[in-house]
Structure formats: C-alpha cells, structure tokens
Structure 1
Amino acid sequence: MPIKIPNDLPAFQKLKVEGVQLIGEDEALRQDIRPMQVALLNLMPDKPKTETQLARLLGATPLQVELTLLTTSTYRPNTVPLSHLQSFYQTWEEVKDRKFDGLIVTGSPVELMPFEEVKYWDELRAIFDWSRRNVHSHFFICWGAQAALYHFHGVPKHTLPTKRFGIYNHFVIERRDTRRPPLLRGFDDYFLVPVSRHTEVRERDIPKDSGLEVLAVSNAAGLCLLQEPHYRTVYMFNHLEYDTYTLHDEFMRDQAKLADVSLPMNYYPDDDPAKPPRNCWRAYAHLLFGNWINEMYRTTPYELAGIGEGGQPVAAD
C-alpha cells in the first residue's frame, strides 16, 4: 500500500521518480480501509530532506499510511521558508484534539544545549505527555530519543570528546530465554548504522525498573536502539533513515565551518572523499520501519477514538 502525502510537497516528485507508491486524496477515499495515521514532528533544519527520508520508509510498508507533518508553535526555524511551513505543516496546538496511530519525533541541532535551554522545550514536554494519551505507538530519533528518555525517565545525555560520525557496526542483544522482539524481526545479528551526534546516552544511567529494554548496541558507538514495550515506544539514537549522501553533506558543511574535521568512519571507500560512498544500511532501515508499522497496525484499535482508552494494554504476541 502507498503513503498519502500532499501532491505539491517537494518529497512527492522525488519519491515518485524513485518508485515509492504514493496515493492521492481521491484514490485514498475509494479504498475501503482505514489508513494508519502517523504524525511526524520534524525538528530537523532541512525539513524537506527529512520528510523525504521518512516518507520513503513509511511508503514502502504494506499498509496505507497518512502522514501529518508537525512543527512547533513556540519556535519557528529560520532554516526553512515560511511558505513551506504554512503550506504543509500544522502545529501541535492545531492537532492536539486528534488521535494518531503513530508519532515520529526527529533529531534536532540542539544536542549540545541543556534540554531546559531549548526554546521549545516546554512545548515538547507537553507533546510528549499528550502522546501518551493520544498516540498508540512512538518512534523517537537521535536527539528526539534523548529528549524523550530524559523527560520520561530522567536519563541524562553526555557530551562526547569528538563528534561520533560515520558508519558503525551494531549487534542485536540476544536473550536465550526470549525470542527476538518483533521490532528486529529479519535483522542480521550484526548490522551497519549511520551515526552522527555529539552526545550519547549510557546504559548504566537507565533505571532498572523503567521497563526499557536495550535492543542493539555498538562496541564503538554505544547504545543504538531501545524499546519500551508497555508504551509501544522506540528510541533510536542513530540514523537508519539517512540517504546515501547525508553524511557526505554533513562532512562538507562541517569542513566549510571548522578547521579540523575528521572523516566519517567506514564511509568513503579507502577513506577517500572523492570516491562515492556505498549505502550498506538501506535494507535495515526498511526492516525497522516496516516492523514498527506492522506492529502498530497489529495492536492499534480499529477506531481511532479508542486510542488511549483504558490504559491501552500491550496486545499479546
């Protein structure tokens, strides 16, 4: 099934050329199914690029997904034209009376700031609390994952000596007494993930009684993926959604601003920026988001009004 996004959204034509299944308003209405309602709170500076990356993954699942783009009302970024925000985005205030099957919160270029000093921190905290009552399943990415973990569980972030940047090998945490979580169904025991951050969350800071489960880690890059089954929440600290050239673009940007910038690790062939990078994580991105969407579909109420009612116990496998 396709993903439903506005026809004039910049991502539409790019995804159409790539062969991602897209659906228009009229066609969506003719299909006798309820699409998954997914909200994307996009905190990244290059919003069209992030829209495209995530819509590509959501549109590759076997279910119809209707994507609602959200931005903050207490802070307007100056990195995206106001016309783009006005045409395609809604604020949380405009949708807070709605229910959603899923909510994705992206990273943000504020990770070196204390959470409380972020201009939209109070609004984001309100969104996090609202989501527990109005959203069935959550997917927090990079700084968004750190922020949610800090808000809900008081887990701090730690500043790294240097930017952790490149493609890192991660491994799935296997537990002999339990089967692999549905979120990692189909994953190899080891898999590659793009990493780009200045801070980290450490496993020793996770409260023992929090209900949080570590799913994947890297010996070199640390924690990658957590889940909180009771609230159907995913915390992904890295960037499987990245395009092939996203790290390259970041490297070029950093090089233009800073005198000493390290190459992204394990990214360029022979560590030569003149050689085009090869994408070695795309399949895992599709697996992760496909598994998330499928579990959302399997457990969410058919009627959206039922989301958040009665504590929403986790459905049995």
Structure 2
Amino acid sequence: MPIRIPDSLPATEILESENIFVMTEYRAMHQDIRPLKLLLLNLMPTKIVTETQIMRKLSNTPLQIDVELLQTISHESKNVSEEHLETFYTSFEDIKDKHFDGMIITGAPVERLDFEDVDYWDELTRIMDWSRTNVHSVLHICWGAQAGIYHHYGVPKYELPEKLFGVFEHKLVKPSSPLVRGFDDVFMAPHSRYTEVHAEDIEANPALELIAVSDAAGVYIAKSTDSHHFFVFGHPEYDTETLGKEYERDLGKEDDVALPVNYYPNNDPSLPPLATWRAQAQLLYTNWLNYYVYQTTPYDLGTIGEDED
C-alpha cells in the first residue's frame, strides 16, 4: 500500500528499508483519488516504535492512506522528545472539527490503574465520544480496547493474578466475520497485560459479539454489531523482538520475572525468538481497512455521523 506519512518521520526510513511502499507527500498530492484518512491515537510511551509497528501493518493494500498522529496533551510523555511530538503530532483541539475514515487507539501501560485514575482519562473519553460521529470505524488495541469497551459498553476489566505475557494459541468463535477472513482455525497472537475482560460480559451485551478467544489468554477479538468499534485485546502489531525487550526491561526492575510463554525456542532466552503471529496480524489490519473502512466509508467525509443518533 502507498502509505502516506511525513517524509521526515523516523518510521519512513525504516519502512522504506523493508521495501514497504511509503509514498512521498508530493506524489500523493498528485494522484487523482481520495485517500483514506486515518487517525492514530498513540498512547504508548515508546511512540516511535509503536508508530513504525502499526504503519507496517497498514502497508499491505492498494489503498492510499493519509495517517495523522494524535497525542493526549493532558499527559507528559517522557520517552520521546518534545521536538518529535511538536513536529509530527497533533492535539484533539486541532482535529475536533475533522472527519476520518478510520482511527486506531493503541494500548498504554496503565492497566493496573482504575480507568478514572488515568491522568488523561477525561481527554480520552472526550476523544472516544467524538469518534462516534467523526470517525467511520475505530480499532482499539490492548488497554485501548479495554478502555473503549468499558467506556462505550460498560464492560469492566479484571486484574489477573500474574502478568499474561507471551504468545498464545487462539481459536475463532465467529469464523464467518470478514475481520478474520483468511485466518487459520487455530492461530498465535502475543499478549502483554495484567488485566482482562470476560467473555460472558461481552456475550451478555446484544450490541457486542465475540470473534476470537484463547483458552489461556481469554478474549482476543470482539466488535460492536454495528461494526463501528473493534476491540483487540492483544498486541498483533508487535515486532519479533518486542516481548524479549519487555522481558529484559522487567529483569532490570525485578528479580523474579517469568519468561514470555511460547516465545523463546525451548524456553531458552539465549536463542532468538521466532514470530509466529505475523500473518494473522497482517490479515487483521488489512481486513479491517478493506471490509470495514474502505468498502463502507462515505466518499464525502463530511457526511460521517449523519445517521448517528
């Protein structure tokens, strides 16, 4: 896909080195088509890493996509330079009058806090409320999924006895969903979290449906029946080495840190891990863009939300 991002964004050079089609702003402006407008609300502390991971997953479709980066201004980011934020990120006040075909809300390392205790919760809920009328389709990832399904549908999160950490086997609950078209009957996906949502809470809400679950990791994918909200409770965008870096980080803070499950060959951290989730992760993003954004979004972005109550 010709993904259109600022020429000087750090992700641009990385993606081009991987032979991913990154379109220059000049070339994009001279194509006679309407690109999809996508907003990425990046709540992760390692913003450049997350930008690159997600843009990589958006890069396998013939569609042209303009990606705009959004931050919360009520939270001070400590792991990225102020220059990077000022150069590439916008604020809600700057985009609140715009409309977008799609939006992605990332995870964040705040899951042990009550939602209302997160310092940017009020700003986040304002953005999520705005997305109901100004965004055609919203994809929520990990803590972003827990926050979204709680705010929009009242589904609570529950603390786990220990961190869910590793790569787990999943199965499809609704294999007919276009979101998982092409998925294997059993597939792998990475998780890294201390909390979870329960399948029975989702099944009890007629506005929601389960798509994929894991015996070991619980709910993986759910969506709203109107196909406006999609909730992915793992990290399909993770690179091969991401869980390993988290493990090494945690080792520096604690003495007793469990290895990520099903990650290192023979559970030996001296051996390089293998990515066993890359294909389903790519399909997930591509299917969402194709079936739930491109094929259903109005040509005139200004009409998004007109049929909403």
The TM-score, its normalising length taken from structure 2, stands at 0.97
Q: What aligned pairs does 1:160-309 form with structure 2 within 5 A after superposition?
A: 160-174=160-174, 180-206=176-202, 208-295=204-291, 296-309=293-306
What secondary structure, in the 3-state scheme, does the structure 2 residue paired with 1:68 have? strand
Say how many residue pairs are matched: 308
Change (3 A) 1:60 1:212: same
Which 4+ stretches in 1 moved above 6 angstroms? none
Contact 2:7 2:25 in 1 (8 A): no
Contact 2:202 2:210 in 1 (8 A): no
Query: Aligned partner of 1:305: which letter?
Result: G
Contact 1:132 1:231 in 2 (8 A): no
Contact 1:41 1:106 in 2 (8 A): yes
Query: Aligned partner of 2:158: which letter?
Result: H
Task: Give the % identical residues.
Answer: 51
Q: CA deviation at 1:155?
A: 1.1
What secondary structure, in the 3-state scheme, does the structure 2 residue paired with 1:280 have? coil
Structure-2 residue corresponding to 1:95: 95
Structure-2 residue corresponding to 1:315: none
**CA distance in structure 1 between the aligned counterparts of 2:63 and 2:203, rounded to whole angstroms:** 35
Contact 1:153 1:207 in 2 (8 A): no
Query: Aligned partner of 1:306: which letter?
Result: T
Q: CA deviation at 1:154?
A: 1.3
Contact 1:268 1:277 in 2 (8 A): yes
Query: Aligned partner of 2:91: which letter?
Result: T
Structure-1 residue corresponding to 2:153: 153
Query: Aligned partner of 2:45: which letter?
Result: P
Q: What aligned pairs does 1:10-25 form with structure 2 within 5 A after superposition?
A: 10-25=10-25
**CA distance in structure 2 between the aligned counterparts of 1:243 and 1:48, rounded to whole angstroms:** 13
Contact 1:153 1:210 in 2 (8 A): no
**CA distance in structure 2 between the aligned counterparts of 1:225 and 1:115, rounded to whole angstroms:** 20
Change (3 A) 1:167 1:209: closer
Change (3 A) 1:7 1:252: same
**CA distance in structure 2 between the aligned counterparts of 1:59 and 1:229, rounded to whole angstroms:** 27
Contact 1:172 1:216 in 2 (8 A): yes
What secondary structure, in the 3-state scheme, does the structure 2 residue paired with 1:80 have? coil
Which runs of 5 or more structure 2 residues have no equivalent in the other structure?
none
Q: CA deviation at 1:103?
A: 0.6
Q: CA deviation at 1:76?
A: 2.1
The TM-score, its normalising length taken from structure 1, stands at 0.95
Contact 1:2 1:21 in 2 (8 A): yes
Q: CA deviation at 1:231?
A: 4.4
What secondary structure, in the 3-state scheme, does the structure 2 residue paired with 1:113 have? coil
Q: Which moved more, 1:203-212 or 1:111-120?
A: 203-212
> 1:116-142 CA deviation, whole Å, 9 max, x = no partner?
000000011111100000000010000
Query: Aligned partner of 1:271: which letter?
Result: N
User: Over aligned residue pairs, what C-alpha RMSD do you find?
Assistant: 1.2
Q: CA deviation at 1:207?
A: 6.2
**CA distance in structure 2 between the aligned counterparts of 1:29 and 1:159, rounded to whole angstroms:** 48
What secondary structure, in the 3-state scheme, does the structure 2 residue paired with 1:7 have? coil
